[in-house]
Structure 1
Amino acid sequence: MNQLPIFVNLRGMPVILLGDGEMADAKRRLIERAGGICVAEDNRDARIAIVALEAEAQAIAAVERLKARGLLVNAVDRPALCDFTTPAIIDRDPVLIAIGTGGASAGLAKALRQRFEAMLPAGLGGLAHALDAARDAIRARWPGGPERRRAIDAALAPGGPLDPLSDQDADAVEKWIEHGGEGVGSGLYTLTIASPDPDDLTLRQVRLLGSADLVLHPAGMPRSILSRARADAAMRVDDGQADEPGVVVRLAWATTAGSS
């Protein structure tokens, strides 16, 4: 990962936009859609700037001026000058999915957005609102943080009662709270990894990695496999010790370990 994806609240905030024409118009629509206010370069309250100038020399000079003031700057079609890039966006309010390539190819990000957008139900935002409204009920049903996380993971898993890629009834969250399962239980799970290709992982392996509190792995386990675990999961090279609480996933190569 060569960039940290973040979502910035621009509502009511000034954003410097330099340029005119098609590029600047597209960025203006994006800023205003997010609730931001496009302002000129002399605005002293702005903390973010977008430079959409065609002329190379003018764009470089503008970026240098703005960065000297401490602003975070995006230079359209000039990734080497950017502090941040603007992704392709799938909007299922309040669900927002951003697809970026670090400026390598806006066309690729757009193509992926179009593919993924066709997969996502129109009511996905309604599911997010329902989960938010049920926050207190979910805490009451599963008081412990780890058990609550595992129950939510199980509900949102493929084929689960709240599978986000399936159309949901209006009362789906309420029914899940009343009848839902507990998700992946605490304990040690040993997974046999057949190849370094993450596409060879089974659905069960992906689900367990996504629920893991700790991942134990052989030295040299590819990052492409480890990245399928929770982003905040602890990881360490397997030293034979696995007495930590929660969901512990031990990875082993198929040639040296038992079955998964």
Structure 2
Amino acid sequence: MHALPVFLRLESRPVLLVGGGTVALRKARFLCRARARVTVVAPAIDPALATLLEQHGGEWLRRRYRRGDLAGRDLVIAATADETVNAAVADEAAARRLPVNVVDTPALCSFTFPAIVDRDPLLVAIGTGGASPVLARAVRRRLETQLPAGFGRLARFLGDCRDRVRAAVSDESARRRLLEQLAEGPIAEQVLAGDEAGAAAAVDALLARGEAPRGEVFLIGAGPGDPDLLTFRALRLLQRGDVILYDRLVGKGILELARRDAELLYVGKRRAEHTVPQDEINRTLVELARQGKCVVRLKGGDPFVFGRGGEEMDELARAGIPFQIVPGITAANAAACYAGIPLTHRDYAQSVRFVTGHTKDGELRHRWEEFQSPTETLVFYMGLVGLPIICEQLVAHGRDPATPVALVEKATSPEQRVITGTLGTMMSVVEAEKPEPPTLIIVGDVVRLAAELGWYSPVEGRVVR
């Protein structure tokens, strides 16, 4: 993070604005909206700026900037076309330890102006540290379309509710859950629709019943690792979590999207090393929800594709715990896309089969005779250790040893690697390359297309060949 975003309270605070042109006018409008006491120093000023100062009780010093003008100020902005003057203002501000903004000169700034989405009292600020104001404004335009004007009204309504909720609900976690329900549920919709009286009555009724917010569990598919592959719903629910249980396949970038005060519990497993047994994970989900907490269970890929989400869902259902399932992009789809391998293709494969490659007691118990169609792509999850068995059994049951094989290591991450060979050669290739989990194995003629189509590089952000 290149700078700490903060909101300054400037009401009645003395601010000096050096410069009187159109750029200074834009800055003055921000300052006046924040109810600052603005003084402009400039030999001449834009007529609109003069009118603004008159309307808001500002002052105009009709001369050039002089050293000493910053005395008694709380903040200063230099917005002149003269680089020498701007540098002198920045120098005096540094000597006085005053926050200073020099327009279009990030190197001289101790703070920069963000692009702002104003839904007062809700404010959204977008900054790039002065690197690209154009990009910040583009992001602001997108947010403007997603935040209705009524969000300011909702923010004020929720602010009015806080004291009543605090008095009625003593438990901090339960109180936060209730406020979240008010902010995102049907009561919020009433406020956004303009029915604040009806919403207030609904809040009174809710508090009168004295019902503590019930705990809830979100089983969220975190995808294969790249945070950009999270769904909007996954992101929204992730940021509501009081407690987050995650496994080793969940990328660090995804955990950074969680709420800052959320409790993170690692429950990962790797081959022959179960940090937390599945039964204990199930019990933990139930116990935390019974405490009234919002619990997020983050699972690599999709919860229902070799993710044991079904077992966790069963446990929650038997315990009467409310839960939601959020699908995620499963590793097969993501790894294949990033590797440039279409799992199905009109000329090569008309079906695809997902198969576990996880061995038990050194064996893979599959009906290998069903895996022989040359027009079906096979995808083996967790198959690195079982790769010798996979290659051997497929060939032994009739699959051509020349069938192409791809092993995708750490798919969608900056460390992604695609290793290719055939059923007959793959073991020697893997021996030389020494890949590490997590890996995904793709078997079928579609693998040939990777060389033709290229593969997506997460580091370069483009398809490479």
Normalised by the length of structure 1, the TM-score is: 0.81
Structure 1: which amino acid aligns with 2:116? Answer: I
What's the secondary structure of 2:201's corresponding residue? helix
Cα distance in 2 for residues equivalent to 1:57 and 1:223: 46
Q: CA RMSD in A?
A: 3.2
Query: Counterpart of 1:119?
Result: 146
2:215 equivalent among 161, 180, 185: 185
2:71 corresponds to 1:44: yes
**Kept after mapping to 2: 8 A contact 1:212/1:249:** yes
Q: Look up the match of 1:9.
A: 9
What's the offset of the Cα at 1:173? Answer: 4.0
User: Residue 188 of structure 2 aligns with which residue?
Assistant: 162
Q: SS at the partner of 1:98?
A: strand
Aligned AA (2:12): G
Distance 1:35 1:248 in 2: 42
1:31 aligned partner, one-letter code:
L
Mapped to 2, the partners of 1:92 and 1:164 lie a distance apart of 17
Give the gaps of 5 or more residues in structure 1. Answer: none
Question: Displacement of 1:149 after TM fit?
Answer: 0.7
The structural deviation recorded for 1:86 is 0.9
Aligned equivalent of 1:70, options 97, 101, 108: 97
Helix, strand or coil at the partner of 1:155: helix
Q: AA paired with 1:137?
A: R
Cα gap change, 1:203 to 1:143, in 2 (>3 Å):
farther
Does the 8 Å CA contact 1:213/1:248 hold for their aligned counterparts? yes
Code of the aligned partner of 2:196: A
Query: Measured at CA, do residues 123 and 192 of structure 1 come closer, stay the same or move farther in structure 2, by a change above 3 Å?
Result: closer
In the TM superposition, what are the counterparts of 1:80-229 in structure 2 within 5 Å?
Answer: 80-157=107-184, 160-163=186-189, 166-171=192-197, 172-179=199-206, 185=215, 191-202=220-231, 205-218=234-247, 221-229=250-258
Query: How far off its partner does 1:83 sit?
Result: 1.3
Name the amino acid aligned to 1:258: R
What is the percent sequence identity of the aligned residues? Answer: 37
- Distance between the aligned counterparts of 2:31 and 2:126, measured in 1? 17
CA distance in 1 between counterparts of 2:30 and 2:181 reads 35
- Flag the 1:115–1:203 CA change in 2: closer, same or farther, 3 A: closer
Superposition deviation, residue 71 in structure 1: 0.7
Give unmatched runs, 5+ long, in structure 2.
Answer: 42-67, 269-274, 310-324, 326-465
> Aligned letter for 2:102?
A
Q: CA deviation at 1:67?
A: 0.8
**Structure 1 residues 183, 2: closer, same or farther in 2, change over 3 A?**
farther
Question: CA, structure 1 residues 249+2, in 2 after alignment: closer, same or farther (shift >3 Å)?
Answer: farther
Structure possessing the higher radius of gyration over alpha carbons: 2
1:232 correspondence with 2:261: yes
Counterpart position of 2:349: none
Structure 1 residue 11: deviation in Å? 0.3
Distance 1:124 1:138, change over 3 A: same
Q: Amino acid of the residue matched to residue 298 of structure 2? A: L
CA distance in 2, matches of 1:66, 1:200: 45
Give, in whole Å, the separation in 2 of the partners of 1:108 and 1:176.
40
How many angstroms apart in 2 are the aligned matches of 1:219 and 1:67? 47
SS in 2 for 1:162: helix
Give the 3 Å change call, closer, same or farther, for CA 69–84 of structure 1 in structure 2: same
